[in-house]
Homo-oligomer: A and B are copies of this chain.
Amino acid sequence: MHEEIKDMLKKNNLSITGSREKILGLFLNQEGALAHGDIEKKAGEKFDRVTVYRTLQIFVEKGIIHTIPTADNSIRYALCKDNCSEGHHHDQHIHFQCTNCHNTYCLDDIVTPDIKLPKGYVSSHIEVVVEGTCKNCKSPVA
């Protein structure tokens, strides 16, 4: 596990430091996505706020994590799959945000649908965020 982290950093030409190992570890041990605030809380006592910002920024640049848009002013980040690389995110999966537990999940098996746009519009990337109740919060009603 710990070797896996180091390997990922090496593969991306990143030097191996405590904060990068720690933060990448958080993502690997986490099913859902993490907001900046979550990371600060979980790792933050040991690291400066600025370091967390810079680490997330470089992870996004390197294609290790990707951002998930939200309407609540707190970008969430999640691990990319192998097909992402520096400067080229190739995520075509959708995201799911649970209105109960407020976790955000990547549904890696659900591909974004094709969308027919009006004349003149050209699509380069599609983001789909589904809100609702996740499998862990499913109400046991019926």
Contacts and interface: CB of A to CB of B under 8 A. Distances in A.
Number of copies of this kind of chain in the complex: 2
Nearest to A72: B75
A107 B96 contact: no
Interface residues of A, number: 39
Interface stretch (A6-14, A22-30, A109-117): A109-117
Interface in A72-125: 72-75, 94, 96, 99, 107, 109-110, 113, 115-125
A31 B130 CA distance: 26
Contact of A126 (B75, B131, B135, B138): B131
A67 B70 CA distance: 10
A68 to B, nearest CB: 7
